[in-house]
Amino acid sequence: MNPILSGFYPDPSICRVDDTFYMVTSTFEYFPSVPIFKSKNLINWTQIGHCVTDENYLKLSNSKISGGIFAPTIRYHNGTFYMITTDVSGIGNFFVTATDPAGPWSKPIKVDFKGIDPSLYFEGDNVYCNTTGRDTNNNQGIIMARIDIKTGECLEDKKFLWTGTGGVYPEGAHIYKHGDKYYLLVAEGGTSMGHMETIACSDNIYGPYESNPANPILTHRNFIGQIQGTGHMDIVQAADGNFFAVFLGFRLTESYFHHLGRETFIAPVTWKENEFPIINDNQPIATSIDTSKFPGLPMPVEKSFVDDFSDDKLNFRYNFLRKSSTVRYELNHGLTLYGNGVSIDEISTPAWIGFRQTEFNIEAFFHIKAEMKHTDFCGVTIFYNSTRHFDLCVNNNAVCIKKRFDDIRETTFKQFLDDPDANVQAQAKDLVLYIKADELTYYFGFGDTEQSASENIVATGLTRHLATEAAKITFTGVYLAMFVNGEPESKMTVKEIKYNALNQPTNAQN
């Protein structure tokens, strides 16, 4: 059942209200920002909205690749939900509030803190904020101060708490009180193969903090297995007193690359008062979970979906790049997407609407009608970022496969639609575009029907070309996206999407 949120859902944070758990993850340059999920049993999660849905609050249009919204924290206090995060491309650290986690959420309140990965801790009338920072010797670590929760203003000088255990990039810190002691939980080692979670405790919230002799309390840095990069943790207590940890990790392919992105995992926690927590009985994280102590029984959830766009709003699964206001689309028993003159090769906001690839083994059918002008083209892209993507393209008279790897651009297949071997009627411009994937390879096809499209594989691409390890320093994952590269007169209507997760174990994500 791990990961509990599969695909690009990193940096999870969690809280509980009565018998319901709420969780958020980071989104970087994608919009709407910070998806929020709810669950009764910690295994089955349903998305109920996004915490930031007004693009005017952010400056994502200025966001570089893997810029934008970094790690969020969600907390609940006295009837109000608080989500605090960092817009590294714009206003910095801020929080928004809501009485209903499904929204609406407030306008951002800027916090008088630099650094990233802010968190909140409530105790009595005091509210503490912590972020990354540096001590007087310029050592990286965690800083904290009391803030005015109405204005975001710091009420005291910032206090340096802890450098961590020596791993690079101490970040993603949270403070808890259990028994008589305060605990400072910190991610270290960078969000890659050396990632780890460490913890320290103190009798005073301001420290000094003493490191757990058993640190790290979670890491796979010396573990040989598919799940790697575990860290960036948050801990929640269920109503029955049991503790659980959510954290990110990623699944490697056989070639030791990962392209789905950093995902959200869960493990049980043993935590006695005034002692350090133990994660998953000190055992490596696996895809299987012993749910005997979880609150409620997990239910099977079908990860495949069919969308004919018959609703008047897009499903929460869809995102835009950076903002939505310059992307013209219509929903009327189909999604019609218009060109806006921006290419998907640009670090900007193209006519692009996508959803996350959630498993290695998938297939997807896109029933489209293309109406392109001049040399414009449209189609479906397997998109890691604007410098790395595979595109199954349609223009006025041909289908082609375009590949982009950094500065390399190539067309690896092209077939004219009036070719008698093209397996499609040229005058119709109604096509089924087909994507299939396994751990190592993407497959591209097209035709008049789903069957003909799936049998007409015309090109392939290696998944490792869209992997984080090949894309330098990036924090996202692969999307399947509909796009139009062209002017406003060009449009593509997507009548239906069928997305099938193939041969996957029963998972628990809506």
187's tokens: 């991610």
Q: What is the CA radius of gyration of the chain?
A: 23
Structure-token pair, residue 469: 């390890």
Q: For residues 109 and 113, what is the distance between their CA atoms, to the nearest angstrom?
A: 12
Q: Whole-angstrom Cα distance, residue 345 to residue 377?
A: 13
Integer Cα distance of 112 and 374 in angstroms? 51
Residue type, 240: D
Structure tokens at 502: 């193939």
CA distance 95 to 117: 12
Q: CA torsion sign, 146 to 152 to 156 to 157? A: positive
Which region holds residue 309: left if phi is over 0, alpha if psi is between -120 and 50, else beta?
A: left
* Of 441, 401, 460, 398, the residue nearest 423 (C-alpha): 398
360-373 in b/e form (b: 16+ CB < 10 A) is bebbbbbbbbbbbe
Compute how many other C-beta atoms are within 10 angstroms of the C-beta atom of residue 41: 17
Q: Quick check: is 254 catalytic?
A: no
Geometric angle at alpha carbon 246, from 243 and 251, rounded to 5°: 140
Contact (CB, 8 A) for 319 and 326: no
Catalytic residue among 11, 197, 359, 391: 11
Q: Which residues have CB under 8 Å from 315's CB, separation 6+?
A: 307
Is 135 catalytic? The answer is no
Give per-residue burial for 257-267: e unless 16+ CB within 10 Å, then b: bbbbbbbbbbb
Catalytic residue of the set 29, 55, 117, 171: 171
Contact 135, 142 (CB under 8 A): no
Backbone angles phi, psi at 183, to 5 degrees: -125, 135
Structure tokens, 496: 């239906």
Q: What is the 3-state secondary structure (H, E, C) of 110-156?
A: ECCCCCCCCEEEEECCEEEEEEEEECCCCCEEEEEEEECCCCCCECC
Which residues have a Cβ under 8 Å from the Cβ of 324 and sit 6 or more positions away? 31, 32, 55
Q: How far is residue 182 from each of residues 129, 145, 166, 207, measured CA to CA in Å?
A: 14, 15, 21, 9
Do 120 and 109 touch, CB atoms closer than 8 A?
Answer: no
Q: How many CB atoms lie within 10 A of CB 467?
A: 23
Q: Report, as residue numbers or ranges, the catalytic residues.
A: 11, 171
